[in-house]
Amino acid sequence: MSTTQAAAAEGFRAVYGAAPEGLWAAPGRVNLIGEHTDYNDGFVLPLALPHTTVAAASARPDGVLRLHSGGADGGIVELRTDDLRPAPGSGWAAYPAGIVWALREAGLPVGGADVHYESTVPTGAGLSSSAALEVVTALALNDLYGLGLDRPRLARLAQRAENAFVGVPCGIMDQTAAACCTEGHALFLNTRDLTRRQVPFDLAAEGLQLLVVDTCVQHELGDGAYAQRRAGCEGGARALGVRALRDVPYAHLSEALARLDGEPGAEPASGTGPAVRDLVRHIVTENHRVEEVIARLDAGEIRAIGPLLTAGHASLRDDFAISCAELDLAVDSALAAGALGARMTGGGFGGSALVLAERSAAEHIGTAVTKAFAAAGHIAPRIFPAVPSAGARRLA
């Protein structure tokens, strides 16, 4: 039994005075490539981290929902399932409460529960701690109430909870990664039709390592900027007469950009953030990069994805404008120290970068990044290997 699993079982007993009916886990994720493509019907390629959120839970017959977290300040959050209403921005408990709301709204027979959580997924690091919390809750309730839902359906309900209950306009990538990833693989997801493929990603066998550099910073700009980028992409699709930017073929990018130049009406009303043509260029080139990465992985050429990762970073920095000084420094210092490729991962404006390195060079690269952060006066980053791990599962 892992220490997190044991802590969750013990924590449950300490808080609720009985043993839990079961224990479930869901992981955090990093996205190898395909950033901000998931709300444009595009392609993504995330993998699950070994870091998990564990839920110890029991059903309750009385419609009361009690939530407690070993990592959060404050005591038990107690709610009535009948009273749940969308409540944008109301703390960590809104994520699991949103799951109960979304399941019930879908007409599923879910009642109350006692839940205690323990997590090793870093929060605010762009590693999807919220999706781990949502998906572990959905899986626990699925089992406790015998709902019989499959993983993709749980992921869609979790996204609905986050969009409609918590009020975050995220795509489907993080929840699908938490629900559907498998050990030793990256998950190729087509976010239009939700078809998936497990792509073998055995870094160790190739003598490689993927490092996560958690910059430990989160810039406030991130809040409204995500919605702004999303609205800009949707405006671009409208201006180009396509259902989503996914429908602009890479081979027709220049034509699409020329067309946008003739349509100033495509610019966002707020006038902030990048021009729509730059957003379009990122999405179209990023979908193409995902396909190129997949082709190289299918050909067994893992090292060859390095330059595509680095090109993805440049696109997020220059066209999508969601990088920041710390992320750029993580990427630049890792490349200067010999990394095969590096990019920011996740929503942007802080959080984490990914570095692909020869295993023999990984320690040296990590040290070089840490030194560069110190020299620039940034707080020390947290650096750890991303080992492709399992998705959500029942533990006991």
Residues that bind ligand GLA (CB under 6 A): 31, 35-36, 38-39, 170-171, 173-174, 346-347
User: CA nearest 15: which of 67, 64, 80?
Assistant: 67
Provide the minimum distance between the beta carbon of 381 and ligand GLA in the complex, in angstroms, as a whole number: 19
Contact residues for 69 (Cβ-Cβ < 8 A; gap 6+): 92, 93, 116, 117, 118, 119
Contact residues for 79 (Cβ-Cβ < 8 A; gap 6+): 64, 65, 66, 67, 93, 97
Of 22 and 171, the one with the shorter C-beta distance to ligand GLA is 171
Provide the minimum distance between the beta carbon of 389 and ligand GLA in the complex, in angstroms, as a whole number: 18
Of 27 and 366, the one with the shorter C-beta distance to ligand GLA is 27
Give CA 83 to chain center in angstroms: 29
Of 173 and 330, the one with the shorter C-beta distance to ligand GLA is 173
Phi, psi (deg, nearest 5) at residue 288:
-65, -40
User: Burial, 231: exposed, middle or buried (Cβ in 10 Å; 0-12, 13-18, 19+)?
Assistant: middle
The rounded distance, in Å, linking the Cα atoms of 33 and 255 is: 25
Q: Is 126 annotated as a binding residue?
A: yes
Q: Is 39 annotated as a binding residue?
A: no
Contact in structure between 334 and 353 (CB atoms under 8 Å)? yes
Q: Is 234 annotated as a binding residue?
A: no
Q: Would you call 264 helix, strand, or coil by DSSP?
A: helix
Q: Is 119 annotated as a binding residue?
A: no
Residue 131's alpha-carbon distances to 17, 139, 164, 260, in angstroms, are 28, 12, 14, 35
Q: Is 285 annotated as a binding residue?
A: no
Provide the minimum distance between the beta carbon of 160 and ligand GLA in the complex, in angstroms, as a whole number: 13
Of 111 and 171, the one with the shorter C-beta distance to ligand GLA is 171
Of 38 and 278, the one with the shorter C-beta distance to ligand GLA is 38
* Exposure string for 97-116, b = 16+ CB within 10 A, e = fewer: bbbbbbbbbeebebbbbbbb
Provide the minimum distance between the beta carbon of 39 and ligand GLA in the complex, in angstroms, as a whole number: 6
Catalytic residues: 174
Provide the minimum distance between the beta carbon of 314 and ligand GLA in the complex, in angstroms, as a whole number: 16
Q: Is 352 annotated as a binding residue?
A: no
Beta bridge partners of 234: none
Please give the annotated binding residues for substrate, written as ranges.
35-38, 226
Please give the annotated binding residues for ATP, written as ranges.
69, 124-130
Please give the annotated binding residues for Mg(2+), written as ranges.
130, 162
Please give the annotated binding residues, written as ranges.
35-38, 69, 124-130, 162, 226
